């Protein structure tokens, strides 16, 4: 569990900066403010830290360049705005960091990139190589090509997934609010700032009422959910106002500003982070109570004998969800056999697989290294 005193010893941060901060609520990229953040990040880098920057602002900058006053709803218009705005956004970060003789690298990701095991590992290796070289990766969603069904939904979620990807010590979300309040401070002047809390506290979502502004797609609720996602890899999350002077340096020193959402649980392996965050599933397996008990209490692999029903048409290596008889998700993992064969072997002992199928790939239906419990 992280406390503020330990922030001085953090080695790797993922820092996400929202659109309203970068564009001064839509009035174009705020170059002096961006340079100020870069100056602070340069101090962190000089202290031996590694920083991955998740930058919003491409759509907002594109809207400004195109003269649009309202965020469009049509996907092709959003993609056009992102394509235009990304040019200015990346150029701005590069020019600001160049004043500190620091190189930057653009990383554009889609959900598919982190759902495909091979592409996930490639992205992880690339970013970690850049960090080892002292380069600052500037990450954004690839809005120009992504479709609604596979988008992250907001850059808070993207930042959390990147924190998982690079095994960051902390996720820092800079916003136009001072942190998480016990109620919406825009409607309740007496609202109290939550200084620290466990990210697992169920009351956090109740506190995070209210929506996003006209430029962004997030809101405080997305930051809570992002913090919980980041906690899967042991990263605690800091939510603070990007308008505070020297905010990054102050957070680094453990100053009592913003909200610290602490990850209480030990990190899970990088492979199981990917499994837990994998949204693109291809089928479902219904498990009997005995199989569920073995998975939860013994941490063993899933065998065909524990499966009572098969749903979907998946292939070997696809992600499937494991549910109980009440359709509650128990686990998810990469299956070793296609659906057509699982239907033949379900409910049967592993020793009968060759007789049933005429071949044997694995004794396990889902190996424990490829399976993660949910809930």
* Sequence-separated (6 or more) residues with CB below 8 Å from residue 306: 287, 288, 290, 291, 292, 294
Inter-residue contact 335 to 367 (CB < 8 Å): no
More confident residue, 246 or 74: 246
- Three-state SS for 152? coil
Question: What is the predicted pLDDT for the residue at 356?
Answer: 96
Architecture of domain 4-272: 3-Layer(aba) Sandwich (3.40)
Q: Output the six-digit token pair for 152.
A: 């992250």
For residue 182, the model assigns a pLDDT of: 84
Residue 174 has pLDDT above 90, yes or no: yes
Per-residue pLDDT band for 342 (boundaries 50, 70, 90) equals: very high
Q: Which residue intervals of the chain bear CATH 2.30.130.10?
A: 281-373
Residue 312 has pLDDT above 80, yes or no: yes
Beta bridge partners of residue 108, listed in sequence order = 140
User: Does residue 364 register a pLDDT over 80?
Assistant: yes
Using the predicted structure, report yes or no on whether residue 148 has a pLDDT greater than 70.
no
Considering only residues 64 and 344, tell me which one the structure prediction assigns the higher pLDDT. Answer: 344
What share of the chain has pLDDT > 90, as a percent?
Answer: 54
d(CA 231, CA 237): 8
Q: Are 373 and 295 in contact (CB under 8 A)?
A: yes
φ, ψ of residue 139 in degrees (nearest 5): -105, 140
Task: Indicate if the pLDDT at residue 214 is higher than 50.
Answer: no
Look at residue 213 and tell me whether its pLDDT is greater than 70: no
Task: Please identify, in words, the CATH class of the domain defined by 281-373.
Answer: mainly beta
What are the tens digits of pLDDT across the range 4-26?
Answer: 888 888 899 999 998 888 887 66
- pLDDT over 80 (residue 233): yes
Q: Give exposure, 26-54, as e/b (b: 16+ Cβ within 10 Å).
A: beebbeebbebbbbbbbebbeeebbbbbb
- Distance separating alpha carbons of residues 341 and 359, to the nearest angstrom: 10
Sign of CA dihedral 330, 331, 336, 339: positive
Answer whether residue 188 shows pLDDT above 90.
no
At 20 the pLDDT is: 81
Reported as a pLDDT band with limits 50, 70 and 90, residue 212 is: very low
Q: What average pLDDT does this structure show over 291-305?
A: 94
Q: Is pLDDT above 60 for 153?
A: no
State yes or no: pLDDT of 321 exceeds 70: yes
pLDDT digits (tens, 9 = 90+) for 103-142: 999 999 887 787 776 787 788 889 999 999 999 999 988 8
Give the Cα separation of 346 and 288 in Å (integer): 11
Residue 187: CB atoms within 10 A of its CB come to 9
Confidence of residue 211 (pLDDT cuts 50, 70, 90): very low
H-run or E-run covering 196? strand 196-198
pLDDT at 147: 53
Q: Is the pLDDT score of 80 beyond 70?
A: yes
Residues of the chain with CATH 3.40.1160.10: 4-272
CB atoms within 10 A of CB 301: 20
User: Are 230 and 15 a contacting pair, CB within 8 Å?
Assistant: no
Half-sphere exposure in the Cβ direction for 352 (13 Å, CA):
12
Higher pLDDT, 326 or 273: 326
Residue 232, sorted as left (phi over 0), alpha (psi -120 to 50) or beta, turns out to be alpha
- Span 79-87, mean pLDDT? 89
pLDDT above 70: percentage of residues in the chain: 89
pLDDT tier, 329 (very low <50, low <70, confident <90, very high otherwise) = very high
């Amino acid at each position: 569990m992280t406390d503020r005193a330990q922030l001085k010893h953090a080695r790797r941060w993922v820092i996400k900066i929202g659109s309203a901060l970068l564009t001064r609520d839509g009035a174009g990229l705020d170059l002096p403010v961006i340079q100020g953040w870069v100056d602070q990040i340069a101090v962190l880098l000089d202290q031996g830290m590694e920083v991955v920057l998740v930058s919003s602002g491409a759509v907002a900058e594109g809207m400004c360049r195109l003269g649009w006053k309202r965020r469009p709803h049509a996907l092709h218009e959003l993609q056009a705005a992102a394509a235009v705005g990304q040019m200015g956004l990346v150029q701005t970060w590069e020019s600001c960091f160049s004043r500190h003789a620091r190189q930057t690298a653009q990383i554009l990701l889609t959900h598919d990139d982190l759902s495909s095991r091979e592409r996930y590992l490639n992205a992880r290796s690339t970013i970690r190589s850049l960090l080892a070289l002292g380069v600052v990766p500037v990450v954004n969603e690839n809005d120009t090509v992504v479709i609604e069904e596979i988008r992250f939904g907001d850059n808070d979620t993207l930042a959390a997934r990147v924190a998982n990807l690079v095994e960051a010590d902390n996720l820092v979300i800079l916003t136009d609010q001072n942190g998480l309040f016990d109620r919406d401070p825009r409607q309740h002047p007496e609202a109290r700032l939550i200084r620290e809390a466990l990210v697992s506290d169920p009351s956090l979502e109740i506190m995070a009422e209210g929506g996003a502004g006209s430029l962004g797609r997030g809101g405080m609720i997305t930051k809570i959910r992002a913090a919980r996602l980041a906690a899967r890899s042991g990263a605690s999350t800091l939510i603070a106002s990007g308008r505070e002077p020297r905010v990054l340096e102050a957070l680094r020193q453990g100053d009592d500003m913003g909200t610290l959402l602490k990850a209480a649980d030990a990190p899970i392996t990088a492979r199981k982070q990917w499994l837990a965050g994998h949204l693109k599933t291809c089928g479902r397996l219904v498990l009997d109570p005995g199989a569920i008990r073995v998975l939860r209490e013994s941490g063993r692999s899933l065998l065909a004998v524990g499966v009572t029903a098969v749903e979907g048409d998946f292939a070997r290596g696809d992600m499937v969800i494991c549910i109980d008889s009440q359709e509650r998700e128990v686990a998810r993992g990469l299956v070793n056999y296609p659906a057509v064969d699982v239907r033949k072997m379900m409910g049967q002992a592993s020793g009968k697989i060759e007789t049933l199928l005429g071949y044997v790939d694995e004794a396990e239906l889902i190996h424990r290294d490829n399976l993660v419990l949910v809930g």
